[in-house]
């Protein structure tokens, strides 16, 4: 990887520079002002659910410290901020009577962002399903599409006068795969039939939410956010190549193909058929304005009968590739290629809604490896743009060190260091680097 140096890649004036976060990972205050429990609260309360017994409190206490966090964003010089709305804050049981205090929190946040000249990009779902809806069957229940559409309509009515960028969900493939194939993420159920139903119903929920948002906020630019990491076989053995092709459908293509091309990729299509009703694909494939890409690194896969309920397992990583502190391969050229491939396949403007560098533990504000990683990925994005990729914006994951799901507070992705005991925020070297990059545009 080349060193970051001082010369910054430059981008058009209207290129959007931002950071991303999500509600459960930063807000804390899980029991305050009428918020209901989410499936991640339930998992965290279970013995051994999250590393170190960590929970959604205190996270970054963003629920109270949002003015400080907006000040940090302003200091960074951001154009936009992608956050997610906590469904259980607005609708404590997932449906029924809205919670005015939850709505008021996002009103304050959105108004604060607009006053600071930062565009709010709201994602409606970043994995914190209300536990009340899980109790009714969660995403494998077909009614979940309607529950989500009603919640989307509420968000549109409350915030659509000021928010004009909406994403329906973040990383459909990841939260369904972790929950229903690996049994690792909430609600922690490992069962392939449930996984297939969850895939189809989150796709239906997406389509229904797009319709609700369009009807209520006609001038909104609406997208969905996908995790796309090139799937590579561990070896050239036929079974590993086939395993990587299947993994590619489950992780990368199952959702955007359904939403943008109106069909499932072939291997999934055969399995999901029992759950698809007449007219469903048209309900899912509603016109969209942009493609949200979360990209970190290529993934290596090998065949393993029965592995992860699908017949594959994580493969060995090539020795030759450098890795992040948490062992993710560093390969900026894979990012460049992904941007070109997505432009060709889906023909939508792409916003990179996540890219970042994770560190296992013990990191302070001195993070030169994160700076090198981000600099190399931004350069690769510039190259992809020159080669024809329609990429219009870039959001670093993440503004703050935060709750990293199953790893709890042990893994840090922030540009800004958070001391979780005192809640002191300290911009890292990477924050200074990102600020200078934005200034140089």
Catalytic machinery residues? 171, 354
Quote the CA–CA distance of 394 and 384 in Å, as a whole number.
Answer: 13
Quote the CA–CA distance of 191 and 197 in Å, as a whole number.
Answer: 10
Half-sphere exposure of 114 (CA within 13 A, CB side): 13
Element (H, E) at 223: strand 221-227
Taking the complex as a whole, how short is the minimal distance between the CB of residue 294 and ligand IFM, in angstroms?
5
38 binds ligand IFM (CB under 6 A): no
Q: Minimal CA–CA distance to 162: which of 230, 212, 235, 106?
A: 106
Taking the complex as a whole, how short is the minimal distance between the CB of residue 265 and ligand IFM, in angstroms?
22
- Residue 8 or 247: the one with the smaller Cβ distance to ligand IFM is 247
- Residue 160 or 254: the one with the smaller Cβ distance to ligand IFM is 254
Element (H, E) at 18: strand 16-20
Q: Minimal CA–CA distance to 398: which of 438, 358, 364?
A: 358
Taking the complex as a whole, how short is the minimal distance between the CB of residue 299 and ligand IFM, in angstroms?
13
- Tokens 């991303």 appear where? 20
| Residue 232: other Cβ atoms inside 10 A | 20
Angle between helices 192-216 and 144-159 (to 10 degrees): 30
Taking the complex as a whole, how short is the minimal distance between the CB of residue 20 and ligand IFM, in angstroms?
8
- Return the residue of 40, 121, 178, 413 that touches ligand IFM, per CB under 6 A: 413
84 binds ligand IFM (CB under 6 A): no
Q: What is the DSSP letter of 135?
A: T
Quote the CA–CA distance of 163 and 159 in Å, as a whole number.
Answer: 6
395 binds ligand IFM (CB under 6 A): no
- Residue 280 or 404: the one with the smaller Cβ distance to ligand IFM is 404
- Return the residue of 294, 297, 338, 343 that touches ligand IFM, per CB under 6 A: 294
| Number of amino acids touching ligand IFM (CB under 6 A) | 8
For residues 171 to 190, the per-residue mask of contacts with ligand IFM, x marking binding by CB under 6 A and - elsewhere, is x-------------------
What the block records as the tokens of 312 is 């594959």
128 binds ligand IFM (CB under 6 A): no
397 binds ligand IFM (CB under 6 A): yes
22 binds ligand IFM (CB under 6 A): yes
- Residue 99 or 430: the one with the smaller Cβ distance to ligand IFM is 430
354 binds ligand IFM (CB under 6 A): yes
Q: Minimal CA–CA distance to 365: which of 306, 300, 417, 435?
A: 417
Taking the complex as a whole, how short is the minimal distance between the CB of residue 377 and ligand IFM, in angstroms?
14
**How many residues in total does the chain contain?**
441
27 binds ligand IFM (CB under 6 A): no
Q: Minimal CA–CA distance to 31: which of 66, 59, 69?
A: 59
404 binds ligand IFM (CB under 6 A): yes
Binding site for ligand IFM (CB under 6 A): 22, 25, 171, 294, 354, 397, 404, 413
């Amino acid at each position: 990887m080349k060193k970051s140096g001082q010369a910054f890649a430059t981008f058009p004036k209207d290129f959007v520079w931002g950071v991303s976060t999500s509600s459960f990972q930063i807000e804390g205050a899980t029991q305050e002002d009428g918020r209901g429990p989410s499936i991640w609260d339930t998992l965290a309360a279970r013995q051994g659910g999250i590393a170190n017994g960590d929970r959604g409190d205190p996270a970054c206490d963003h629920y109270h410290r949002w003015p400080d966090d907006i000040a940090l964003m302003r200091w960074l010089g951001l154009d936009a901020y992608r956050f997610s709305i906590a469904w259980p804050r607005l609708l404590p049981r997932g449906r029924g009577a809205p919670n005015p205090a939850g709505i008021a929190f996002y009103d304050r946040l959105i108004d604060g962002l607009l006053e600071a000249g930062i565009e709010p990009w709201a994602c409606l779902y970043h994995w914190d399903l209300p536990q009340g809806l899980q109790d009714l069957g969660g995403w494998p229940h077909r009614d979940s599409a309607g529950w989500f559409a009603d919640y989307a309509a509420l968000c549109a009515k409350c915030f659509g006068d000021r928010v004009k960028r909406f994403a329906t969900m973040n990383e459909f493939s990841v939260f369904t795969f972790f929950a229903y194939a690996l049994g690792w993420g909430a609600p922690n159920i490992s069962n392939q039939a449930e996984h297939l139903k969850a895939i189809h119903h989150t796709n239906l929920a997406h389509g229904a939410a797009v319709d609700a948002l369009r009807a209520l906020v006609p001038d909104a630019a609406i997208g969905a956010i996908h995790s796309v990491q090139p799937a590579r076989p561990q070896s050239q053995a036929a079974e590993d190549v086939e395993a990587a092709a299947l993994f590619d459908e489950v992780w990368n293509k199952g959702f955007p193909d359904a939403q943008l091309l109106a069909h499932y990729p072939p291997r999934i299509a055969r399995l999901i058929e029992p759950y698809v009703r007449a007219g469903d694909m048209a309900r899912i494939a509603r016109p969209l304005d942009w493609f949200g890409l979360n990209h970190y690194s290529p993934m290596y896969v090998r065949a393993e009968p029965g592995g992860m309920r699908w017949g594959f397992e994580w493969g060995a990583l090539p020795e030759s590739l450098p890795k992040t502190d948490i062992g993710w391969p560093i390969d900026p050229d894979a990012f460049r290629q992904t941007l070109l491939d997505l432009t060709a396949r889906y023909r939508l403007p792409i916003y990179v809604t996540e890219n970042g560098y994770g560190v296992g533990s013990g990191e302070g504000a001195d993070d030169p490896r994160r700076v090198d990683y981000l600099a190399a990925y931004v350069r690769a994005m510039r190259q992809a743009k020159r080669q024809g990729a329609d990429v219009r914006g870039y959001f670093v994951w993440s503004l703050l060190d935060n709750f990293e799901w199953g790893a709890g507070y042990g893994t840090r992705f922030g540009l800004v260091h958070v001391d979780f005991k005192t809640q002191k925020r300290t911009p890292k070297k990477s924050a200074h680097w990102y600020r200078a990059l934005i200034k140089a545009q």
